[in-house]
Amino acid sequence: MILHQPAESSKTGILYAVLAYSAWGLFPVYWKFLAQVPAVELVCHRIIWSALLLLGLLRIQKQHANFWELWRSPKLVGALFATTAIIACNWGVYIYGVNTGRIVETSLGYYINPLVSVLLGSVILKERLNRGQKLAVLMAAIAVGNFVWHFGQVPWIAVFLALSFATYGLFRKLITVSPIVGLTVETLLAMPIALGWVGYRAVTGTGFFGMDGQVTLLLIGCGVVTALPLLWFNNAAKRLRLSTMGFFQYLAPSLQLALGVLFYHEPFTTIHGLTFTLIWSAIALYSVSSVSKLAE
C-alpha cells in the first residue's frame, strides 16, 4: 500500500521545493562575484551569517523552547553534527567548482542527485520503485561511466555533490526536528570553526572581510542566500517523499547548466552532450514512471 501525504501539505511542499531549487540554480552568479575569496573562507562566512539570520528567525517564530529542548538530546545533536559536516563539505566543493570554471560539472552532479535520492529512498526508507524508476537509476550510472570512459577521469565534483546532498537530504528527513531549529543548530555547531578561521585570516591580513565594501556586503549576504533556500528545502523534505523531492531537483542543474554554457561560456563537448542526454533521458523516464505509479 502506498502512503500519500495530505493534499495541502503536498502543495506547500511543492512550493518550497520549487523555491529552493530555483534559488540554488542561480547560485553561480552570486559566487562568481566572490571568485577572489577562497572556498573555505566563503563557507565560513556562509556559516557565520546564516547562524545570525537563523537565530533572528528563531526569535521571530518563537521556537526558543524547541531550540533549547534539542540541546538536551545528545543523540539529536550528534546527528545534526553529522549533517553539518556533510553540508559544509558540499558547500565548499560546490563553490570550488563554480569559481574554477566547472559549473557544467556541478550541474551534472545535481542532475545525478535526484536519482541518488531515489536510490537512497529505496534502500534506506524502503520506498518501492517500479521497473522504469530502477532503469532511470541505471541510466544515470551509465552516464557517469560514459564520462569516465571518454575523459579518463571521474567527474569527482559531480559525484561528490550528488552523494553528499542526497545523504544530507536523507538524514534531515529522518531527524525529528523542525527545519529552522535544525538549521540553526547545524550552523551553531560549525560556528566555532568558522569564527576561528575567519579570525585567523583577519589577524594575518589574508582575509577579505572589511577589505572592500562590495565584497564585505556580499559576504554578509551569504547568510540570506544560504539559509533561506536550505530552510525551504527542509520544509519541502518534511512534506514530500524523498523520491518526490528528487523529481524537482532538475530545476537547479538546468539553470546552472544554462549559466555555465550560455553565460560563462564553459566547454560543452559532444561527450558532455551524450552524458547529459543520458541523464535527461533518465530523469524523463523517472518522471513518467513516477506519474504512472501515483496513478495506480
| Within-domain flag for 190 | yes
Task: Calculate what percentage of the chain has a pLDDT beyond 70.
Answer: 93
Kindly state the cell numbers that stand for 23.
534559488
Distance, CA of 32 to CA of 137 (rounded, Å) = 32
What is the rounded distance in angstroms from the CA atom of residue 46 to the CA atom of residue 278?
A: 34
Residues 33 and 285: their CA atoms lie apart, in Å, by 37
**Better-predicted residue by pLDDT, 163 or 144:** 163
- Whether 72 is in a domain gets the answer yes
Closest CA to 106 of 13, 172, 26: 26
Q: Can you tell me the mean pLDDT for 46-67?
A: 88
| Domain extent for 139 | 7-294
**In the predicted model, what is the mean pLDDT of residues 115-143?**
80
Tell me the whole-structure pTM to 2 decimals: 0.82
In eight-state DSSP terms, residue 166 is: H
Average confidence score pLDDT of the chain: 86
Q: Are 105 and 272 in contact (CB under 8 A)?
A: no
Q: Judge whether 131 lies within some domain.
A: yes
Report the C-alpha gap between 60 and 68 in whole angstroms.
Answer: 15
In a domain, 165, yes or no: yes
Cα–Cα nearest to 252, from 115, 142, 108, 120:
108
The per-residue pLDDT for range 61-100, each reduced to its tens digit, is 888 888 999 999 999 999 999 999 999 999 999 999 999 9
All three cell numbers of 86: 556533510
Count structural domains, the chain: 1
**Residue 2 maps to a domain:** no
Residue 125 falls inside a structural domain? yes
User: Is a pLDDT exceeding 80 seen at residue 19?
Assistant: yes
Please name the residue that has the C-alpha cell 561560456: 265
Domain membership flag for residue 200 = yes
Residue 1 lies in a domain: no
